[in-house]
Structure 1
Amino acid sequence: MTVFIDPSRANFDAFKALPRDEPIHMLNLLRYRDQADYPEGHENAAKGWTGRRAYEEYGKTSGPIFRRVGGAMVWRGLFQTMVTGPDEERWDDGFIAQYPSAAAFLEMIKDPDYQRAVVNRTAALVDSRLVRFEPQAAGSGF
């Protein structure tokens, strides 16, 4: 089974080729490591954190940057069961983050404080998905 933590160059180039001045929603699906995997010598490496705890640290340290660029959580949930899809594809958490624009998302990930914080995300996850969506009107129909 192939796992994904960071975007491939081709996927990131496709993201950047889309409009940057429109609101976006980013679907995040997360599967945590049992034990966080920090680089040797990192300040959190010897703390014995679980992947979930390392991701909480990522949220704590990246949250101010996320909010500064106008990011907001629009939905969050805990995985229960796969209804349609591969049985082996299970997730611990999922959420949708809203950004005022793709440019805001790019501003966030280029921020030096964010780049220091993202080490916690990498240490936390064994697999993930990050999917960009164009927000549409919600309602009672499909």
Structure 2
Amino acid sequence: MTERYIDPSRANFEAFKDLPRDEPIHMLNLLQYREEADYPDGHENAAKGWSGRRAYQEYGKTSGPIFRRVGGSIVWRGAFQTVVTGPEAMHWHDGFIASYPSADAFFEMIKDTEYQKAVVNRTAALRDSRLVRFAPGASGEGF
């Protein structure tokens, strides 16, 4: 079975925390949804029969106000079509780049108690994901 990634490993999160916190960051998000959301027993959404995509929409709805409050914005969004370079089996349903004014803003978001309630929807929604930090660079015509 292929290894799946929903939450950061301790080592990856420590590496993220060791990077500068006071400069803008872009976070590349690649998402692969479950057919059916997998909520913990007893969760208010567990019996709703939601798809993973629907559970992720709930995550966006419930975490969005916190994301915006810390200064976050989506700078690019796309729907997967095909892999050009990479493993043929690598398929993502959606991808987007979230921009934060700083890593501190990202930490403020994930420490928020309302965000921590909302993130249960993300965990229930995803079969696999990638979250990759980049320093924003200049855009334009050149590579």
TM-score band, normalised by shorter chain: over 0.9
Per-residue CA shift, 1:58-83, capped at 9, x if unaligned? Answer: 00000000000000000000000000
Q: In structure 1, what is the equivalent of residue 91 of structure 2?
A: 90
Unaligned runs of 5+ residues in structure 2 are none
Runs of 4+ with deviation above 2 angstroms = none
AA aligned to 1:21 is D
Give matches, 1:46-65, under 5 Å: 46-65=47-66
Render the CA deviation track for 1:114-134: whole Å, top value 9, x for unaligned.
000000000000000000000
Alpha-carbon distance in structure 2 between the residues aligned to 1:28 and 1:135: 15
Quick one: distance in 2 between partners of 1:89 and 1:110? 31
Between the two proteins, what is the percent identity of the paired residues? 77
| TM-score (structure 1 length as normaliser) | 1.00
Correspondences of 1:94-133 after superposition (within 5 Å): 94-133=95-134
In 1, the alpha carbon distance for the partners of 2:49 and 2:69 equals 31
Q: What one-letter code is carried by the residue in structure 1 that aligns with 2:141?
A: S
Q: In the TM superposition, what is the alpha-carbon distance from 1:98 to its structure 2 partner?
A: 0.1
Equivalent residue, structure 1, for 2:71: 70
| Structure 1 residue 100 displacement after superposition | 0.0
Name the count of aligned residue pairs.
142
The offset of 1:92, in angstroms, is: 0.1
Residue in 2 aligned with 1:44? 45
Q: Distance in 1 between matches of 2:12 and 2:89?
A: 23
**Alpha-carbon distance in 2 for matches of 1:88, 1:116:** 32
Alignment partners' CA distance in 2, 1:64 and 1:78: 23
> Residues 22-64 of structure 1, C-alpha deviation per residue, up to 9 Å, x if partnerless?
0000000000000000000000000000000000000000000
- Alignment root-mean-square deviation, CA: 0.3
Give CA-to-partner distance per residue, 1:91-117, whole Å, 9 cap, x none. Answer: 000000000000000000000000000
User: Is structure 2 residue 19 aligned with structure 1 residue 18?
Assistant: yes
What amino acid is the match of 2:102?
Answer: S
2:140 maps to what in 1? 139
Which amino acid in structure 2 is aligned with residue 107 of structure 1?
E
